[in-house]
Amino acid sequence: MNSDHRRLVRRKRIRDKIKGTAERPRLSVYRGNRNIYTQIIDDTEGRTLVSASSMEASVRSKVKGFTVETAKAVGELLAEKAKERGISKVVFDRGGYKYHGKVKALADGARAGGLEF
């Protein structure tokens, strides 16, 4: 059993407990080797409401590389986009990753931008 398989098992266990609704959608995180991607999802309709990633030009102009600062900038950008759509409360889905480093920085950036979870 490799580490990615173990992460997917943890992810499934988390998703069995966490559901995004229209009032409180799910903030989902995917962390690749070079980028971090995040979405706010309404699971009742199965729609992505807002998304942000470290590949966007506004993030790349602020920070270089894939660092904790990059993840924090993505969180702030996501919170900004969510506010424009009228979303203020979300449920955080860490996607099976440990809550430290880049995942924690993304969450802190989203909180700093005004999202509640």
Nearest to 71 by CA among 43, 47, 97, 44: 97
- Over residues 7-27, the pLDDT tens digits come to 999 999 999 999 998 899 999
What pLDDT does residue 3 have?
83
What pLDDT does residue 101 have?
96
Q: Which residues pair with 50 in a beta bridge?
A: 40
Could you give the domains of the chain?
A: 3-112 (3.30.420.100)
**Contact criterion met (CB below 8 Å) for 63 and 72:** no
Q: Distance between CA atoms of 29 and 38, rounded to whole angstroms? A: 5
Query: What's the pTM value of the predicted model, to 2 decimals?
Result: 0.91
- Over residues 26-63, the pLDDT tens digits come to 999 999 999 999 999 999 999 999 999 999 999 999 99
